[in-house]
Structure 1
Amino acid sequence: MPTGIRISPTRAARAVNLLRAVQFTHPPSCPCHSNPNHHHGPSTIHQAARTLATPIDTTQQKEYAFEMAASSIRFGPGCTKEVGMDFKNLGSKKVMVVTDSTVRKLNAMKQVVEGLEREGVPFEVFDQVRVEPKDSSIKVAIEAGKRYKPDAFLAVGGGSVIDTAKLMNLYTTFPDADFLDFVNAPLGRGLPIPSKLFPLIAVPTTAGTGSETTGTAIFDLVSKRAKTGIAHRNLKPTLGIVDPLNTRTMPSAVHASSGLDVLCHSLESWTAIPYYERTPRPTNPINRPAYQGANPISDIFSLQALKDTVKYLPRAVKDPDDHEAQSKMLLAATLAGVGFGNAGVHLCHGMSYPISGQNPGYKHAGYDVDHAIVPHGVSVAVTAPAVFKFTGASNPERHLAAAECFGVDVSNVKRESAGEVLGEALAEFLVRLGDQPRGLKALGFGREHVDQLVEGTIPQARVLMLAPSLDMQNVEAEREQLGRLFEESMEY
């Protein structure tokens, strides 16, 4: 008899029934059966059942598994003061505290410094992080890390600070690596991070990026006029300290733009292609990307974050003393971080990178910086109405479920109208939120910039590969689709 595991018909039936109970979609109907245009291969149930009965066939190209990875999270008002004990528990002897010049003056930094001093943990502060970092500012920070030679890192600030600290940690751990070694391909070499890094604790002071949960760090690669970054599970913080008291100093404009990042994180990860449609399947699990496609676990986090953002972001923007709304938005940012940190984002983010990198001179009101800036949340949201109108046909059920989160009655909406309905709901939400640029024209872009924006989007293969409806097999068709999306995003 051949060796190997035999599965009885009874056990196989039980396994298939269990898989049916957690099958990939919301509402319950399977998009493989209810929407034949959505997938090109067998459903996850059929694939999983076949996997149970046969050994792994590495010649198949489509993915068959997903991994869940997220930082440990501590949530609660006042928990920042515990950070000194955390580093003492880790046995840390030299902590590099990473922040920016604005956050350094805030209570969050006061709590951090007092906590470290109380526990007798030696530290040094680097406060030169740039908001929306460029490769040049990242390199300055890395050199500071290499000089100090810490055995742990502490990031206190928004996504720019946390992302910078992640890269300081990476290149301090691997000081001989070339800067482009780990940068996402095709702009960099896209090498996997081969081992764990030094401990990193992240203390977010904005409710948006979810960077405290993810293995992703984003920056501007100036020579290519595009945003890129590094993404790998080993980059994620050891612990995220999510303290609602730390977001009470956020200006209304920062609440709004960071909340829009949460909105798009949740929508994009909810509507990304399913993990089992992603290609190619990795030949070694170390090469399985952090952004894997939507999956049954990320769905839970993404959909809840979307519901909370729609409910609480307008309140948080309108009333700086609405501490319940602020706390709920901070938690929503973390939930969305877990969701997109494993499922990934797609078109809004892929298109946002050249929008920020090619900014013609726009400076968003409410940001205390001395340079032109399109805040990240603004750059992702400005294309959202056009994007989700475009992706609606890929999975009408998911787009209608998202529209319901905005209060839309979808009971009589036709499936072919799902994208249009969600796009309209998004546009109305953005208008009601107030003080948001209503399209790329308001940022200073015109139709003469479209080709350049498209060329800045094409290299974002890491996220574009998760975009439903986008034809990445034909680069000219892809350029045409992206061009239409930028044109439709000129105003809404």
Structure 2
Amino acid sequence: MSFVPKARVTQLMRLTQGACMCPAHLGGLSKHLPNCKSSKSFASQIKQEYAFEMASANIRYGEGVTREVGMDAKNFNAKNVIVFTDSNIAKLHPFKTVIQSLEANNIPYRVYDKVRTEPSDQSFKEAIEFTRKKGVDLIIAVGGGSTIDTAKAANLYNSYPDADFLTFVNAPIGKGVPVDKTLTPLIAIPTTAGTGSETTGSAIFDFKELKMKTGIASRALKPTLGIVDPLNIRSAPLEVKIAAGLDVLFHSIESYTAIPYNMRGPAPSNPIERPAYQGSNPISDVWARKALAMTIDALPKIKKDPNDKHALSQMILAATYAGIGFGNAGVHLCHGMSYPISGLNTSYFHPGYNKDHPIVPHGVSVAITAPAVFNYTGAAFPDRHIEVAQAFGADVSNVKKADAGRVVSDHITKFLMDLGLPNGISAFGFSYSDINNLVDGTLPQHRVTKLAPLQTGAEDLASLFEQSMKLY
């Protein structure tokens, strides 16, 4: 397998940090090289993006709706089903319900239960090999985002049997080739209220050789159907529920504060090249605001009572809402910075998770930099940051735009502290000597970082990581 060496990726990123990002950051937010043409003259040569595209899986919601999946398989006329899950979920009610439903409807199936929590390139490849060898006409994913993302990757590469692994991985780490085939039907059944992966076309993994996370993003990866059943998330440990909920929280805030879709850059020459993550837009905004309000209300209630049925139902709905929003708008710095935090972790084991490998759960790694990030980005779109602060309960009647970042940062910090989030990235074993590596792991995350409302270079990222060493 060929891949881009880490040193080369870092070199390319550093060379481009000072370059003009026009027209993606118009309105005085760009940083220009001395020989760069002005925003106006540059934009006049390239047709500016003028459209956004909404896409989502079909969603079925309801308590006990998982029991219908066998009938769905029959309706697909499925004869060769693979059920993806992990070794924990394979012992629990959601998976058993799926198997009972398949057997009741006489659907042939095989189980792949080796999904890795926070999947890696290697675990993706193992799932891909299994799928290619066995063949499949319907995939069912039962689990959290790790399981659903693994199933997406297996589905994609099964449809391209000769493709190298990097073919579809996001550039500049991979080739970022557009997906031009219709994939095998995929039914996603989430067992956590977090990633919203049942609605999106993204599959995230830890690229071990580069010690960073990256992913694959294409509308073609979207599940055919997301079965959202509140009963399926009740058995998760409290720490898993909190970590997953934090992912929902920042899906909402990041997609709402991302650069607007019509400032993202030039329009594609072909619609198939329009990215899944397109910037904030009027439709995604609606889903993001609703998910934000629901999460702020429900997550503290779950912290107080992990079995609060109404709060759990609200959280799994919020995860789906946020997934529809960010699955089209995208996320930005918190997610971009989270990937090296997870990828470079060698010693931290988060409570409530398997001890088979060190893990900073995705939602936790996203949340840990949020106070610093939104204090920083508040200068770009202060009105939106003030709206976010208001959603947290801030009295914004006298808040000045210049203070928008500080106010939202303060309220996020208190919210995270009340949920018991670890006190900064130093809690994971990172020190100031690790900042350069954390920056190097963030720079290649173009898919998300270019959606940040401020152009953010290596020095800016270093400052954000430094501020995130301790939060309280």
Q: Distance in 2 between matches of 1:254 and 1:334?
A: 17
What is the DSSP-based 3-state SS (H/G/I as helix, E as strand, rest coil) of the residue aligned with 2:130? helix
Identify unmatched segments of 5+ residues in structure 1. Answer: 1-34, 41-56, 472-477
Q: Which one-letter code corresponds to 1:457 in the other structure?
A: T
Contact 1:252 1:318 in 2 (8 A): no
Q: Distance in 2 between matches of 1:58 and 1:479?
A: 29
Matches within 5 A, 1:338-417: 338-417=324-403
What is the DSSP-based 3-state SS (H/G/I as helix, E as strand, rest coil) of the residue aligned with 2:203? strand
Q: Which has the higher relative contact order, 1 or 2, with Cα contacts under 8 A spaced 6 or more apart?
A: 2
Q: Distance in 2 between matches of 1:37 and 1:459?
A: 24
Q: 2:48 aligns with which of 62, 84, 91?
A: 62
- Partner residue, 2:419: 433
Q: Distance in 1 between matches of 2:336 and 2:82?
A: 32
- Partner residue, 2:459: 480
1:218 aligns with 2:204: yes
Matches within 5 A, 1:48-447: 60-434=46-420, 436-447=421-432
Q: Distance in 2 between matches of 1:318 and 1:172?
A: 44
Q: Distance in 2 between matches of 1:230 and 1:37?
A: 32
What is the DSSP-based 3-state SS (H/G/I as helix, E as strand, rest coil) of the residue aligned with 2:166? coil
Q: CA deviation at 1:59?
A: 5.3
- Partner residue, 1:49: none
Q: Which one-letter code corresponds to 1:441 in the other structure?
A: S
Kindly provide the CA deviation profile for residues 2-37 of structure 1, in whole angstroms up to 9, marking residues without a partner as x: xxxxxxxxxxxxxxxxxxxxxxxxxxxxxxxxx965
- Partner residue, 2:449: 464
Kindly provide the CA deviation profile for residues 190-230 of structure 1, in whole angstroms up to 9, marking residues without a partner as x: 00011110000000000000000000000011111110110
Q: Distance in 2 between matches of 1:360 and 1:113?
A: 36
**Given the superposition, is the C-alpha separation of residues 329 and 264 from structure 1 closer, same or farther in structure 2, using an over 3 Å criterion?**
same
TM-score (norm 2): 0.90
Contact 2:29 2:455 in 1 (8 A): no
Kindly provide the CA deviation profile for residues 42-92 of structure 1, in whole angstroms up to 9, marking residues without a partner as x: xxxxxxxxxxxxxxx995342100000000000100000000111111111
Kindly provide the CA deviation profile for residues 149-204 of structure 1, in whole angstroms up to 9, marking residues without a partner as x: 01110000000000000001001111111110000000000000111100000000
Q: Distance in 1 between matches of 2:350 and 2:407?
A: 29
**Larger Rg: 1 or 2?**
1
Kindly provide the CA deviation profile for residues 264-299 of structure 1, in whole angstroms up to 9, marking residues without a partner as x: 100000000000001132110000000000000000
Contact 2:84 2:112 in 1 (8 A): yes
- Partner residue, 1:452: 437
Contact 1:96 1:152 in 2 (8 A): yes
Q: CA deviation at 1:335?
A: 0.3
What is the DSSP-based 3-state SS (H/G/I as helix, E as strand, rest coil) of the residue aligned with 1:87? helix
**Given the superposition, is the C-alpha separation of residues 292 and 222 from structure 1 closer, same or farther in structure 2, using an over 3 Å criterion?**
same
Q: CA deviation at 1:119?
A: 1.0
Contact 2:377 2:405 in 1 (8 A): yes
Contact 2:336 2:442 in 1 (8 A): yes
Q: Which one-letter code corresponds to 1:469 in the other structure?
A: L
Q: Which one-letter code corresponds to 2:319 in the other structure?
A: A
Deviates more, 1:290-299 or 1:61-70: 61-70
Q: CA deviation at 1:38?
A: 6.8
Aligned length: 435
What is the DSSP-based 3-state SS (H/G/I as helix, E as strand, rest coil) of the residue aligned with 1:399? helix
Contact 2:84 2:141 in 1 (8 A): yes
Q: CA deviation at 1:367?
A: 1.1
Q: CA deviation at 1:369?
A: 3.0
Q: CA deviation at 1:145?
A: 0.5
Q: CA deviation at 1:371?
A: 1.4
Contact 2:30 2:455 in 1 (8 A): no
Contact 1:252 1:366 in 2 (8 A): yes
Contact 1:63 1:275 in 2 (8 A): yes
Q: Which one-letter code corresponds to 1:253 in the other structure?
A: E
Q: Which one-letter code corresponds to 2:438 in the other structure?
A: L
CA RMSD after TM alignment = 1.5
Q: Distance in 2 between matches of 1:88 and 1:419?
A: 52
Contact 1:360 1:445 in 2 (8 A): no
- Partner residue, 2:469: 490
Q: Which one-letter code corresponds to 1:462 in the other structure?
A: R
Contact 1:58 1:283 in 2 (8 A): no
**Given the superposition, is the C-alpha separation of residues 408 and 38 from structure 1 closer, same or farther in structure 2, using an over 3 Å criterion?**
farther
Identify unmatched segments of 5+ residues in structure 2. Answer: 1-25, 32-42
Q: Distance in 2 between matches of 1:166 and 1:58?
A: 39
Contact 1:39 1:277 in 2 (8 A): no
What is the DSSP-based 3-state SS (H/G/I as helix, E as strand, rest coil) of the residue aligned with 1:147? helix
List, as ranges, runs of 4+ consecutive aligned residues in structure 1 with deviation greater than 4 Å: 35-40
Q: Distance in 2 between matches of 1:402 and 1:392?
A: 10
Q: CA deviation at 1:118?
A: 1.0
Q: Distance in 2 between matches of 1:73 and 1:429?
A: 30
- Partner residue, 1:24: none
